[in-house]
Amino acid sequence: MTRTRLLSAATTIAALALATAPAMAQTKFEFWYGLSGDLSERILDMCKTFNESQADYEIVCVSQETYENNLQNTIAAFRANKQPTITQISDGGTVDLMLSGAYVPVRQLMEENGYDIDWSDYNSGVSSYFATSSGELLAMPFNNSTAMFYYNTDALAAVGFEGAPQTWEQVETIARDLKAAGYDCPIAFDPTGQWQWWEQFSAIHNQPIASNGNGYGGLDATVEFNKGKFVDQLSWFKKMYDEGLLVVKSKATGETANDAFINAKCQMSSSSIADHGTIGKQAIEGMHWDVTMLPVWEGTERKNSLVGGAALWTLKGSDAEQYKGAAAFYAFLATPKQAEWWSTVTGYIPVTNSGFEAMKASGFYDAAPYKGRELALASLSFTPPTEYTRGVRLGNFGAVRKEIQDAIAAVLFNNVPVQQALDDAATRSNEVLRKFEATYPGQALP
């Protein structure tokens, strides 16, 4: 065979090899999250955009349906060495992750992968929830929110009320007037929504959820929700429920509180600001509605509300390339374009000060679909945080929330006396906290 033919044959073989060889594989890494429905669809949109924005990494985003499911599944996966690279953990699971030692601090991750982040630009009320007592940010703030009060402006105007309800006294008067005017459901109430009806109520009224400054002072904290204003608030819920002014709407009844509101079946409700986008898209044609900060009782000196939502934790156990992918994903989330898109399609607040100022300057909050969302930031920053409004640092807090949920249900449906129901819930909650404390003997919160 001549040299020319040899070269030709070699070229042909090389071309065939290139044609049949697989393209250089992207580095895949998993992101588990605890959202469902419309918010889950928006997460998948975001993941798709990230994957299309670059060729080096492929993020695989997997819904675990709820925050609690995701926390428990993440723990189980870590024990089996099958954990994702990134997991979304809600505010209530922060202590569980902090003490687990199972994570790579986000500041360390970004620095090791060459990203220079201005961490001071992150909203301090948000970032401090996911930081150590010395200010080291452990997880990336992501979908953060607070609780708000939604109301049907047409229905309220029909009974002579203009503007936003600011006090619970006003809410009760409006509810009675709505009932008298033939509205079957003045207020939609979900007993499983203890986050807004209990935690946020306690914060804005400066009421303790637990001793030790809501747990910030140490793992030996005990709950105190059975001693303060929430006792009276649950009594008020019971009175309103018995009179048909507060109507239970939940998955268990076949119609959630948000669904009842967007279909104009119920005229007032409370939910996260994160639902603002969903309500705007799904509200029935012709319905006019608005949102305001949670009401307080007259004579109350309102305090700031609590940060809700979740942060992204980077788990130990991935390889260097997967961590590069995670860092690239976090950098993608922090871009102004992506941050504004996320706040636009959901309702979650911008987590950086510069992001909020840019959106405000562009007139974002003046546009009808988004008007009112700025009140979430106003609520979060209404006052400097107190020891009861900076957050909650209780281990296995999801179980404590479940005890409150069960107490509310016992009062409403089984006529258990309010004080007894809350005392019983407190006893069981403290058992949960002592078991958690025993898991980390002698260990202090970071």
pLDDT of residue 446: 86
* Residues 27, 77: Cα–Cα separation, whole Å: 20
pLDDT of residue 205: 98
**Residue 357 is encoded by which pair of tokens?**
């100022």
- Which of 254-284 are b and which e, b meaning 16 or more Cβ less than 10 Å from the residue's Cβ? ebbbbbbbbebbbbbbbbbbbbbbbbbeebe
**pLDDT tens, residue by residue, 88-130:** 999 889 999 999 889 999 999 999 999 998 998 888 888 888 9
pLDDT category, 11, cuts 50, 70, 90?
very low
Q: Which amino acid is at 26?
A: Q
Instruction: Tell how strand 266-272 and strand 147-152 pair up.
Output: antiparallel
**pLDDT tens, residue by residue, 278-292:** 999 999 999 999 999
**pLDDT tens, residue by residue, 151-160:** 999 999 999 9
- Between 169 and 23, the higher pLDDT residue: 169
> Within 13 Å, how many C-alpha atoms sit on residue 203's CB side?
27
Mean pLDDT of 423-430: 98
Q: Return mean pLDDT, the chain.
A: 91
**pLDDT tens, residue by residue, 181-237:** 999 999 999 999 889 999 999 999 999 999 999 999 999 999 999 999 999 999 999
- Asked which of 39-43, 311-315, 350-354 is least confident by mean pLDDT, the reply is 350-354
pLDDT tops 50 at residue 405: yes
Mean pLDDT of 235-258: 96
pLDDT tops 70 at residue 9: no
pLDDT category, 25, cuts 50, 70, 90?
low
Domains of the chain: 27-145+307-362 (3.40.190.10), 147-305+395-439 (3.40.190.10)
Q: Which amino acid is at 223?
A: V
Q: Which amino acid is at 406?
A: D
pLDDT tops 80 at residue 22: no
- Between 114 and 23, the higher pLDDT residue: 114
pLDDT tops 90 at residue 368: no
pLDDT category, 437, cuts 50, 70, 90?
very high
What string of H, E and C letters represents the secondary structure of the chain? CCHHHHHHHHHHHHHHHHHHCCCCCCEEEEEEECCCHHHHHHHHHHHHHHHHHCCCEEEEEEECCCHHHHHHHHHHHHHCCCCCCEEEEEHHHHHHHHHHCCEECHHHHHHHCCCCCCHHHECHHHHHHHECCCCCECCEEEEEECEEEEEEHHHHHHCCCCCCCCEHHHHHHHHHHHHHCCCCEEEEECCCCHHHHHHHHHHHCCCCCEHHHHCCCCCCCCECCCCCHHHHHHHHHHHHHHCCCEEECEHHHCECHHHHHHCCCEEEEEEEHHHHHHHHHHCCCCCCEEEEECCECCCCCCCCCCCEEEEEEEECCCCHHHHHHHHHHHHHHHCHHHHHHHHHHCCCCCCEHHHHHHHHHCCHHHCCCCCCCHHHHHHHCCCCCCCCCCCCCCCCHHHHHHHHHHHHHHHHHHCCCHHHHHHHHHHHHHHHHHHHHHHCCCCCCC
Mean pLDDT of 381-385: 92
CB-based contacts of 367: which residues, under 8 Å, 6+ apart?
none
Percentage of the chain lying above the pLDDT 90 cut: 78
Length of the chain (residues): 446
**pLDDT tens, residue by residue, 304-346:** 999 998 999 999 999 999 999 999 999 999 888 898 899 888 8
pLDDT of residue 337: 87
pLDDT of residue 12: 37
Mean pLDDT of 72-77: 94
Q: CA nearest 52: which of 343, 329, 327, 318?
A: 329
Q: CA torsion angle for 362, 365, 369, 375 (degrees, to 10)?
A: 160
pLDDT tops 60 at residue 18: no
